[in-house]
Structure formats: C-alpha cells, structure tokens
Chain A
Amino acid sequence: ETGVTQTPRHLVMGMTNKKSLKCEQHLGHNAMYWYKQSAKKPLELMFVYSLEERVENNSVPSRFSPECPNSSHLFLHLHTLQPEDSALYLCASSQDWLGAKNIQYFGAGTRLSVL
C-alpha cells in the first residue's frame, strides 16, 4: 500500500462514452501527477498539479481533461477516446512538484481499454 489509491482498476469504454478516473492520496503531499504507460513505450507524463494548480500539461489531447479539486484528489475525465488511448494510467504524488528532489509514490493504475 503506497498511500495512493486509484479507481477503477479496470475500465472498458466505447469511443463515445464519458468516464472518469479517480486518484486519492493519503500522504499529505502537495503535488499529483497523471502518467500514461503504453506497451513498450516510456512512461509519458501527462499532467502535474501543485497545490491544486496545473503546472504541467504535456501536449495532451483535449479529450483528456484533468481536475484537481483539492490536494488529496485528482481526476482524469475521458471523452470520445480513441483505441490508441488504451493503456495503463498511473497517478502519483510527491511532497512538492519539484519532482527531481522528491520521491514519487504511485497508485496501482487503471487499465483502460477503448473499444
């Protein structure tokens, strides 16, 4: 148990569906991250939030919409996804957003399949 909880663990959705991924951290951290991990590709950083403010958006398509209502919760809203968006989505947190100084704690991930 890393202190970072992601739900759901598995999600299958059609291209016209709207769904949300949820991440919650119980570590008192100030920074939270969304990563995408596709087979045989490096982990891709999608978004970074620090104290509920988005500080990084790595050219992610608008069909992915993050939300950080407070420093403990992070959501990733999904709509009109494409089959190539099928991947493992990982949430992480760290003490603050200067990631190079901090250890990141990861959730177990959401395995997303887009049909």
Chain B
Amino acid sequence: QSVLTQPPSVSGAPGQRVTISCTGSSSNIGAGYDVHWYQQLPGTAPKALIYGNTNRPSGVPDRFSGSKSGTSASLAITGLQTEDEADYYCQSYDSSLSASVFGGGTKLTVL
C-alpha cells in the first residue's frame, strides 16, 4: 500500500463542497515536507493542482484549495462541477525512503 493514505473515493453533487484527506507520518508530512496535489482526468496525465501545501499554479481555479496540519493534508473543492470528476493524488517526500511518495489516489464522482 501507499505511504500516504487517501480515501479510495468521495462524491458530491454539483455545487457542493468536498474534501480529500491525505494522511502520512512523522517521516513525511509530519516531518514538515510540503504536500502537493494532482488531478488526473480519465485517460490523461496528472496535472499539478496545488503545490507547497496551499499554492495554486497559474490557471488553476480558486475553487481548489489545500491545507496541511500535523501529519495530514487536505484538498478542498468548492462549487463542484461535472468536469471535476477525476482521480486526485497527494505527493510529498519521505525521509525514511529517501524518495518522493504519492498517495494511492482518490476517485471523485460528481453525482
């Protein structure tokens, strides 16, 4: 299993708010390493959504926001749209593994 733990799936209705959690440990998120988030639309490559815990790359809507506390991080999506249906991955660094690590991914369904 993945070093960073995410829920396998979340869902919400259009217009609603959803959050996706990413739980790590003292050797990654808890050690102070940044958390980044990616969106992977069906059949496409991942795209950076949030970097450095809370920052959005140019072009990413402000409906997407990130936060971090202790050994966990969260991605929040407000005003859900059908085009937000995708897999979402968190990423950080793990000092025990000496490697960048990813969560297992969360599938977002917009009902």
Does B associate with A?
Answer: no
A contacts, CB < 8 Å to B: none
B contacts, CB < 8 Å to A: none
